[in-house]
Structure 1
Amino acid sequence: MLRYNENDVEIKSIETQYQGFFAINVYQLTHKLFSGKTSQVIKREMFERGDAVVLMPYDIKADKVLLIEQFRPGALRSNENPWLLEFIAGMFAKDESPIDVAIREAKEEANIDIRAQDISPVMKYLSSPGGMSECIHLYLAQIDSTKVEVGGVFGLDEENEDILLHLVPREEAFSLLSAGKITNASTIIALQWLALNYQTLK
C-alpha cells in the first residue's frame, strides 16, 4: 500500500546540535513527492534517545498484570499527576538484544526473574516519528504472580529509580485505562493489545 520507501529519501547531512544523556541531531534531507518530483531540502531537529523495550508482565492463570508506579518529569508540563502507572521498560545497553533488555529490566525494576522462553513479541512501533527516532520493542512476559512482591519498591539508585509494584486483575487494568488513569503511550498500547488478544493466551 505504501508508495515509497527509504530508498526515496536522500540525507544531505546530519549534524549533532546537543549531546548529553540523549542527543539532538539536525537532519537535512530531500524526499520524493507523490507528484513524482523531489522535495526542497528539509531541515528537521530529531531527538535521538535510542530504542527501548517495554515488557508487559501477565499471569495468564491468575489473569493479572503487573504495573509499576514511578515519577516521570515529562508529565509536569501538562499538569497531570507525574506519578504514572506503567509497564516495565528500559533502554538498550551496548550489545544487548531486546530479550536481554527485557530480562534485565524485569529484575531491576520489579525484582522478578523471567526466562527468554517466557517472553513473546507483541509489536515494534515508532514513539513519535515526527521528531524522535525511538523504536519501541513491546513484549509480553508470562509470570507467576505469586512470586511478585506486591507493594515492594525497586529500581536502581544510580538511575534515581523509585518504583512501586502493583498487581491488578486484567479487568481492573482495563478499567484504569478507560478512566484515564493510565496515560503513557506504551502501557495504553500494550493493554489495548491485551484486550484484543487475552482469550488466545488462555
Structure 2
Amino acid sequence: MDAANDVEIIARETVFKGYFQVDRYRLRHRTFRGGWSAELVREVFERGHSVVVLLYDPERDSVALIEQFRPGALAAGWNPWLIECVAGIIEEGEHPDDVARRETLEEAGGEPSAMVPVGDYLMTAGGSSETCRLYCARVDSSTISGLHGLEDEGEDIRTHVVSADEALAMVRDGRINNAMAVVAVQWLALEKDRLRRDWGV
C-alpha cells in the first residue's frame, strides 16, 4: 500500500499552534482485508524534523554525551535531567549535515572530523510526524568538557565522556532512557568494529 493511492485525507486543520503545532486529520485508508476503513479522527503533533549525533572517539573508544532538562520527562513522572546524544531541529532550508555540525559545536563544543549517516527513523509514528536522521560523528573526546548550550534558547547542557562499553552499560541499566540515545548507542555496539576499520583505527 502507499499513501498516494490508499489514503484519503478528508480534512486537516491546525487546532493548536505555539512552540509546537497540533493538526487534526479526518481520514480513511484501505484495509488489509480490502475496502476502506471507517473515517478516523486523529491529532498529529507537528514538531518538525531532527538530527541526532552520536559523538564517538575511535582512538579512545569513548562516547561524548550530553545531559539536559526535558519537560516531557517531567510530565511523565521521570527524572527530567536526561543523558542524551547531541540533537537539534532542522529548520526550513537547512541541510541535515549542517545541523549536525552546528549542534555538535553548540551543545558539546566539539567539531566532527568525519560524519557517517546512519539512517532515518520515525520518532512516534502513532501521533507525531517527526523524523530523525542519525549520524555518528568522529570527534576528539579530549576536547569535550564543561557546560554548553544557547542561553537565548534556554539551553543548559552538561557534557559527559564515557567509554563505549560504559555507554552501552548505561543503556542496559536505564541511565540512558531516551529513544534517540538508545538507538545510537546500540547501533555503535553493533557497528563499532567496522566503523573503526573504516576510520583507519
TM-score (norm 2): 0.94
The CA distance in 2 between the partners of 1:78 and 1:19, in whole Å, is 22
The answer on 1:166 being equivalent to 2:160 is: yes
The answer on 1:199 being equivalent to 2:193 is: yes
Counterpart residue identity of residue 106, structure 2: E
| Cα distance per residue 1:73-127 (max 9 Å; x no partner) | 1111333211110000000122101101101111111111235xx1111111101
Match of 1:134 among 106, 125, 130: 130
The answer on 1:125 being equivalent to 2:121 is: yes
The CA distance in 2 between the partners of 1:12 and 1:102, in whole Å, is 37
Residue in structure 1 matched with residue 3 of structure 2 by the alignment: 6
Say how many residue pairs are matched. 195
Secondary structure at 2:111 match in 1: coil
Counterpart residue identity of residue 187, structure 1: A
The answer on 1:186 being equivalent to 2:184 is: no
The CA distance in 2 between the partners of 1:196 and 1:17, in whole Å, is 42
Question: 1:13: Cα distance to partner?
Answer: 1.4
Residue in structure 1 matched with residue 199 of structure 2 by the alignment: none
Counterpart residue identity of residue 42, structure 2: R
The CA distance in 2 between the partners of 1:92 and 1:195, in whole Å, is 27
Residue in structure 1 matched with residue 102 of structure 2 by the alignment: 104
The CA distance in 2 between the partners of 1:196 and 1:74, in whole Å, is 29
Residue in structure 1 matched with residue 78 of structure 2 by the alignment: 80
Question: 1:201: Cα distance to partner?
Answer: 1.3
TM-score (norm 1): 0.93
Residue in structure 2 matched with residue 153 of structure 1 by the alignment: 147
Between the two proteins, what is the percent identity of the paired residues?
A: 45
Which is further off, 72-81 or 175-184? 72-81
Match of 1:57 among 40, 55, 58: 55
Counterpart residue identity of residue 125, structure 1: Y
Secondary structure at 1:68 match in 2: strand
The CA distance in 2 between the partners of 1:153 and 1:111, in whole Å, is 9
The answer on 1:90 being equivalent to 2:88 is: yes
Counterpart residue identity of residue 138, structure 1: L
Question: 1:50: Cα distance to partner?
Answer: 0.6
4+ residue stretches of structure 1 with deviation over 4 A? Answer: none
Question: 1:10: Cα distance to partner?
Answer: 1.2
Unaligned runs of 5+ in 2: 197-201
Secondary structure at 2:184 match in 1: helix
Unaligned runs of 5+ in 1: none
